Amino acid sequence: MFTGIVEEMGVVTSLEKTLAGARLSILAQKIMDDLAVGASVSVNGACLTVLTRTDQTFTVDLSPETLAVSTLGGLAAGVPVNLERAMKLNERIGGHLVTGHVDGVGSLRGRRQEGNAIVLTIEAPLEILRYCVPKGSVTIDGISMTINDVTDRTFSIAVIPHTAKVTTLGLLKEGERVNLESDLIGKYVERLLRERSHVPPPSAPVIDRDYLQKRGLI
């Protein structure tokens, strides 16, 4: 479990793809202090297991499922990534409860300056937008953010200068894809209400060319 408060930006040193998946190596500093082999680490919002480590780098394996539902397969050497170690129960939760299980991929559709903040508009799949509410929480590439507005295809967030400086959101360009995780509490509430027949079940996604392209499968 994570909080969505990024500890540092690491840098990809290599991504080796195989028939079984891929292996990712990352250069980091702050999180290396107590990062043990077998520990969980959030890389751009995806919960991964540390396989090996040195003083400055660690490696993780990416399963076919992770490659299919996230943007990690598109990483390359030199690309910055958001990193967070698993949370400790005796510390403050600065963001919200984040599982590190990516629900889907969105893309940046708009970027504008508003006062001291950068307002980003993200296009997201319907299965994620159904849990988005104004002033609610969403995880973008492992970053806990507050939602400003929601439409039938997008949601927007305001990125303050500190967040823009210490995470990849400050570097995000229009058209780039991001990993998204819906608010965990919203999912449980929907499930409980559905069992009481108060809400309809989510509609199954239409598996067409557009669906596959948005997830990087073709």
The whole-number pLDDT of residue 31 equals 97
Q: Residues 194-204: what's their mean pLDDT?
A: 68
Cβ pair 105, 34 in contact under 8 A: no
Q: How confident is the model at residue 172 (pLDDT cuts 50, 70, 90)?
A: very high
Q: How confident is the model at residue 134 (pLDDT cuts 50, 70, 90)?
A: very high
- What's at 146, amino acid-wise? T
For residue 134, what are its two tokens? 């104004």
For residue range 6-23, list pLDDT tens digits in order.
999 999 999 999 888 999
For residue range 21-61, list pLDDT tens digits in order.
999 999 999 999 999 999 999 999 999 999 999 999 999 99
State in words which class domain 104-214 has. Answer: mainly beta
Q: Residues 118-125: what's their mean pLDDT?
A: 97
Q: What are phi and psi of 79, to 5 degrees?
A: -80, 130
For residue 69, what are its two tokens? 């539902």
The whole-number pLDDT of residue 91 equals 81
**Burial of 14 (C-beta count, 10 Å sphere; 0-12/13-18/19+):** middle
For residue range 84-99, list pLDDT tens digits in order.
999 988 888 888 989 9
Domain extent listing, the chain = 8-85, 104-214
- Cα-Cα end-to-end distance for the chain: 31
Helix (H, G, I), strand (E, B) or coil at 149: strand
Q: Give dist(CA 56, CA 15) in Å, integer.
A: 17
pTM for this one? 0.86
For residue 186, what are its two tokens? 């919203």
Q: Which residues contact 213 (CB under 8 A, 6 or more apart)?
A: none
Cβ pair 114, 107 in contact under 8 A: no
CATH level 3 topology of 8-85: Elongation Factor Tu (Ef-tu); domain 3 (2.40.30)
Distance of alpha carbon 208 from the chain centroid? 24
104-214 has the same fold as 8-85: yes
